[in-house]
């Protein structure tokens, strides 16, 4: 059985990570030795391993296997409403939202689950939404060399709702258009229609 204390990641031991959590608890005014907090450092370290597992993943590897036997299919492919959970790199607060991706194939396509995995790989890192949007689009462009790529990301930022201005019900929308999605207004409009048609009605 593996000793959790031997869990060293990125040059930091599990013991050091748990010690850092105890320090933060003391700084916040708590006693990390009281009964309710004794296991908190371990739980936080385990949660960090899950929340930030994207650093151990190469998103490009997910799209390494592509398919060319598509009977000449050359119309737009869109996968919308990919839910994600990330964390803001400025305050380490959650970002929760959805991603919509689309591309215009140039002879090669990829399994749709792999697109969702690419989103997850980038989301499970400390992020800035604008950067994550560009990273997802760039990964698809590198792997498939399509005629165009479009990515739209929606996110609710807890760093804005639970601190600072305390504004709830606000979402941020970012987009990245490459190739024909940027150069051709009709292609871009078609993609955005696909995305909007999946939006929940209020």
Which residues have a catalytic role annotated? Answer: 88-91, 129, 157, 159
Quote the CA–CA distance of 51 and 85 in Å, as a whole number: 8
Which tokens belong to 25? 């608890």
HEC assignment per residue over the chain: CCCHHHCCECCECHHHHHHHHHHHHHHHCCCCCCHHHCCHHHHHHHHHHHHCHHHHCCHHHHCCCCECCCCCCCCCEEEEEEEEEEEECCCCCEEEEEEEEEEECCCCECCHHHHHHHHHHHHCCEECHHHHHHHHHHHHHHHHCCCEEEEEEEEEEHHHHCCCCCCCCCCEEEEEEEEHHHHCHHHHHHHHHHHHHCCCCC
């Amino acid at each position: 059985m593996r000793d959790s204390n031997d869990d060293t990641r990125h040059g930091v031991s599990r013991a050091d990570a748990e010690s850092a959590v105890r320090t933060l608890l003391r700084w916040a005014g708590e006693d990390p030795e009281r009964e309710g907090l004794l296991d908190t450092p371990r739980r936080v370290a385990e949660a960090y391993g899950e929340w930030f597992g994207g650093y151990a993943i190469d998103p490009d590897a997910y799209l390494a296997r592509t398919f060319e036997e598509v009977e000449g299919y050359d119309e737009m492919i869109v996968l919308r409403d990919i839910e994600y959970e990330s964390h803001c790199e400025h305050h380490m607060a959650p970002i929760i939202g959805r991603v919509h991706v689309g591309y215009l194939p140039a002879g090669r396509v990829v399994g749709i689950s792999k697109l969702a995995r690419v989103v997850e790989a980038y989301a499970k890192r400390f992020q800035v939404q604008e950067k994550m949007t560009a990273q997802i689009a760039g990964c698809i462009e590198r792997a498939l060399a399509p005629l165009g790529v479009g990515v739209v990301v929606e996110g609710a930022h807890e760093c804005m709702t639970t601190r600072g201005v305390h504004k709830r019900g606000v979402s941020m929308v970012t987009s990245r258009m490459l190739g024909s999605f940027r150069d051709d207004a009709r292609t871009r409009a078609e993609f955005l229609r696909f995305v909007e048609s999946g939006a929940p009605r209020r």
